[in-house]
Amino acid sequence: MNAAITFGPALVAVLVLLAVAGAAVVKAGGLGRGRAVLIAAARAVAQLAAVSLVITAVLRSAPLTGLFVLLMFGIAAVTSARRAGTSRNLPWTALAIAAGVAPVLALVLGAGVVPPKPIAVVPIAGIVIGGAMTATSQAARRALDELKSRHGEYEAALALGFLPRPAALEICRPSAGHALIPALDQTRTVGLVTLPGAYVGVLLGGAGPIQAGMTQVLVLIGLLAAEAVSILVTVQLVAAGKLSRAA
């Protein structure tokens, strides 16, 4: 029996209803702009449609797969730079994301745990890059917000003889570390609260529950490692004044 979700009028209607409902809740609840939800939903549809058209060609070629992964990485770095406050942060958000992603992908591919085939590399790379992007964005925003709201404490630390970087770390490091909480919670509750995408995807692909479980564990622990490194690098870059909101 085919368990895949099929495209049709019912699916389109449900997607539209969910997007409109989400936008209405955000607007009515004063949580932000409802339009942002609609734009995000529309972009998701358009982007996944475009990816679906090219992914077959990409997965047939190792060079195209490499370029596709680099494209994902570049978009992730740009997104984090904007979330941090200015596009001038791009080299530093790219560094933070790469610091988390590169060793994880090198390990899982080098050890042969993930076969070096496009059909395996693209989804694993996308998941790890996406997690590192989110962690970098959250850590940067939290650290910069903390330094702004507690600027008096930062100046007090300088007056006590702290150098600028250690003083900034004392202020922003604990708050930025909270960016790892979503990944920790997801890992702790997997199988009890949620069945994440990698698990469900492997099941839908025809594999057994044990293989799906092993794949999901690899993804979750890889994400934890990648996000931890990205957060650490992000905090250090903020403390060093490299990542900032200065125009």
Domain contains 244: no
- The identity of residue 87, as a single letter, is S
When divided into structural domains, the chain yields a total of 2
Percent of the residues in the chain that have a pLDDT greater than 70, as a whole number: 89
Query: Range with the lowest mean pLDDT among 95-104, 132-141, 192-201, 211-220?
Result: 192-201
Query: Range with the lowest mean pLDDT among 67-71, 87-91, 138-142, 243-247?
Result: 243-247
Range of the domain at 28: 1-58
Q: Torsions phi, psi of 157, nearest 5?
A: -65, -40
Residues 50, 88 within the same domain: no
Residues 49, 64 within the same domain: no
Q: What is the C-alpha to C-alpha distance for residues 125 and 112, in angstroms, rounded to an integer? A: 15
Residues 64, 39 within the same domain: no
Residues 113, 189 within the same domain: yes
Domain contains 102: yes
For 5, 140, 200, the CA distances from 134, given in Å and listed in that order, are 27, 10, 22
pLDDT of residue 195: 60
SS3 194: strand
At 104, the pLDDT band (50, 70, 90 cuts) reads very high
Paired tokens of 217: 């564990």
Residues 37, 124 within the same domain: no
For 158, 191, 214, the CA distances from 200, given in Å and listed in that order, are 51, 11, 12
Residues 91, 31 within the same domain: no
Domain contains 246: no
Nearest CA to 243 out of 157, 150, 153, 146 is that of 146
At 207, the pLDDT band (50, 70, 90 cuts) reads low
Residues 83, 175 within the same domain: yes
Q: What is the pTM of this model?
A: 0.78
At 196, the pLDDT band (50, 70, 90 cuts) reads low
Residue owning tokens 């090219």: 54
Residues 40, 78 within the same domain: no
At 201, the pLDDT band (50, 70, 90 cuts) reads low
Residues 136, 114 within the same domain: yes
Residues 130, 208 within the same domain: yes
- Pick the last residue of a domain from 16, 43, 58: 58
Yes or no: say if 234 and 136 are a contact pair by the CB < 8 Å rule: yes
Q: What is the C-alpha to C-alpha distance for residues 88 and 102, in angstroms, rounded to an integer? A: 22
Q: Is the pLDDT of residue 52 over 70?
A: yes
Domain contains 34: yes
Residues 106, 174 within the same domain: yes
